[in-house]
Structure 1
Amino acid sequence: MTNTNFLAIAKRTFALEISALTTLEQALDDQFNQACLLLLGCKGRVVVTGMGKSGHIAHKIAATLASTGTPAFFVHPGEASHGDMGMITGADVVIALSNSGEVNEIVSLLPLIKRLGAALIGMSGNNSSSLATLSDVHLYCGVEQEACPLNLAPTSSTTAALVMGDAVAIALLEARGFSAEDFAFSHPGGSLGRKLLLKVETIMHDGDEIPIINPDASVSEALMVMTQKSLGMVTVQQDGRLLGIFTDGDLRRVIDQKIDFSATSISTVMHPKPHSIDADQLAAQALYMMEEHKITSLVVTHKNIVAGVIHMHDILRAGVA
């Protein structure tokens, strides 16, 4: 057993890295704007490179860029010196990471990148480094102290570089008007893809499954249709046009009023302005509307004509929630 206070160490680590990010935020300048403009104007791909721990961060930055609308990939600097430079073209923008800005594997590539005519964005913690001075744009990612008590292991510095990369990716995402649906095409698998790509028309009840009653029908007739269709509601329609709905909640209210179900027209007790959603909208949007309005079903329309009904259970079964 040990007397080491692990919680205190964790809090100290958090504090040091938060402090590093606060300092980094304050140091942001026009170089960040220039980097974003350079990347937005890229006619090729964004190539991200880095050695060691910086290489791991470079991998993550490339992946984040690629998934948010900026085509990007990682090239290992050691492999670049042995053939992979052929992956880089003059139309590309290279983002090179090195905390010191003097790592041999990175510095040796800089003349080759310049010879190709590719633009170079350097990310380092030294504004006077070879990487900084040879870059077209330099993003300063320096930290005063690593979270490592020896001030040796890359910790605060890698966090700073990672956050800088995230800031660039999000700035480009917003500048491009990158949408949730665009994001989904980069993430089609699993629940994320289902949530962002699945449309209402795919999971709604349509055809004979739609509970329909005409406005002259009695409440008793409406209840029979509700029971048969098991969706907890019935649509009141005329010639395919939605006039209103009657739900389980409406039923509880009319019971309290002690009305004659057989003699009362459904049009007098229906909800005349129900919430609806277009068939080509995302199922995630239907879920949002249900949660916002505290309801369990929506009428689905297409060109103002009733196309179906979608229930909260349909969304849950589809794995959207």
Structure 2
Amino acid sequence: MQKLLNYAKHVAKIVDNFILNKVLKGKPDYLYSASTHLLKAGGKRLRPTLLILSSRIVGGSEEKALPAAAAVELLHNFTLVHDDVMDKDEFRRGVPTVHKIWGISTAIIAGDLLFSKSFEALLYLKELGIDSKRIIEAARILAQAASTIAEGQAMDMAFEERTDVTEEEYFQMIYKKTAALFEASTKIGALVGGGRVEDVELLGNYGKNLGIAFQIQDDILGVIGEEEKLGKPVGSDIREGKKTIIVIHALRKASPKDREKLLEALGNRSLSKEKINDVISLLISTGSIEYAKEIALKYANTAKNIIENIKVKDYEAKEMLIELANYVVKRLK
């Protein structure tokens, strides 16, 4: 695990350096300060790490995958800035969100800038000798992921107003909102690494399963995580009325009285910490946390099994991709 974490730190350093020195430069200063705010606040750089490892496993190099790794990180940051506006979140990565510092209008423009710069970053692949057809296909995959993420965000918002969300709908939503960018990262990595068509598809499927496991673990940490490690308040999903797999399971398993109590709490933004703790106790007592953990582990194991079918050219990359699947369900932030 330590090798993976050290490598992710290395990726963060080279990706951030590329973004800050080559891509996110311009005027006015306040707009670029807003656009780089979350990037400078930290984060795991999971998607660029995934992309580079997916490139390496099929025989590609870290250097040639770097612009694409920057592209997926820029797109990810775009989604975070806009998500925080929509969810009215005040903290992200332990710092105030972009709209809390610069206002909603600037946050929207900053997100738009990050979105456009993600495609600009991809074009640096041409300078590194990547085949034009592969660059065009990478841009298509990234654009499709952006559209899919928007659909997932719309579903997530719509679910806040409903009490009858099914597990099937939940999995559709988290694939679109979260796993689609994991899938795009692994596919693009394999593409720019010169991978075969079958390797691109296999790694895409690995990324999809990994992304679903990641989001379920995110939902779990939103209930039982530590605020200091998460960098945002525990229980915010409850206040926002998010229909996570945990909530869906609890609504199905709870007694009529407890179900009513849970429905009253969901979406109540003024819910006290004491009431939040009551809801968390309910989610634990219904077995909903353990249920979510089992499903996350199932998807992580599926991801690991997929890696075994890839024609490996870099065994260290393979080892770290398997370790990534372990990490997403063990992480505490």
TM-score, length of structure 1 as denominator length: 0.23
Which one has the bigger helix percentage? 2
Larger Rg, first or second structure (1 or 2):
1
TM-score, with length taken from structure 2: 0.23
Larger relative contact order, structure 1 or 2 (CA cutoff 8 Å, min sep 6): 2
